[in-house]
Amino acid sequence: MLKLFKVIAILEGISYLALFSNMLFIKHNNPELYHQLLYPIGMTHGVLFVAYVILAIILKIELSWPTKKFVIIGVASILPFGTFYVEKKYL
């Protein structure tokens, strides 16, 4: 289960960065491409985010994570590059 969580953490981080890059760079240079990419990238990121949170809750219960570690892992899911840091340092 922990290995799956690591993979989800990395994929969630990549999808978050892809969503940001779509919003920041492509939106102004090519608005039509922006609208074509927004839904699939956004949906992928949303699914991965929900999976990340659910797996974090399951692993907190399963592995008896301290509350501080669980909060750090949870907050990392909303920060750019946060999931990469958590995967390297805490997992």
Residue 42, token pair as written in the block: 């956004």
pTM of the model: 0.86
pLDDT in tens, 18-36: 888 888 888 778 888 888 8
CB 12 within 8 A of CB 87: no
Three-state DSSP class for residue 1:
coil
Which residue in the block uniquely carries the two structure tokens 């899911």? 77
pLDDT at 70: 92
